[in-house]
Amino acid sequence: MLRKAKVSDAKVIHRMINLSSNEGEMLPRSLMDLYGSLRDFFVYLDDDGSIAGVCAMHIFWENLAEVRSLYVKKEYRRSGIGRDLVEACISEAITLDLLRIFTLTYQTEFFERVGFIVTDKSELPEKIWSDCLNCPKYPDFCDEVAMIIEP
């Protein structure tokens, strides 16, 4: 079952994101940051009601949204949960009239299957000036690939 995240989900989402970060799949996020952006998140619940996956849609600018923090537990990967989560984020962005949606990712094949195409990071100046400047990998060590979809 797919739903918007609740406050009671924040600590589980935090653990999932930082587990993924420890595996080199994404950058870590603080619990304080997650509480501040909790309304961005969707969660996917397994049959037992446990969170099997998470993803967020963050509003960046008047015409720009980011799909970020996608994580699906290993035992649920390749089951369609990741696609469902990303499509929920895209749908919410479209509902808000945000028709340029990007992601920074290591999972280019997955996002290509959803409809994203590779773009140059310079096409996303709002992201660079707001988030990337604070990243320890910026500018010389950023190895994520920028991808965009314009539904």
The tens digit of pLDDT for each residue in 25-70 reads 888 889 999 999 999 999 999 999 999 999 999 998 888 999 999 9
**CA 116 to CA 123: how far, in whole Å?**
14
Q: What is the mean predicted confidence (pLDDT) over 87-104?
A: 96
| Inter-residue contact 100 to 64 (CB < 8 Å) | yes
What one-letter code names the amino acid at 104? Answer: L
Domains held by the chain: number: 1
- Write down the pLDDT at residue 129: 47
Q: How many helices (H) and strands (E) does the chain have?
A: 5, 7
Domain of 129, in residue numbers: 2-149
For the entire predicted model, the pTM comes to 0.90
Contact 98, 151 (CB under 8 A): no
pLDDT at 116: 98
CATH code assigned at 33: 3.40.630.30
Query: Reduced to 3 DSSP states, what percent helix, strand and coil does the chain have, rounded to the nearest 5?
Result: 40, 25, 30
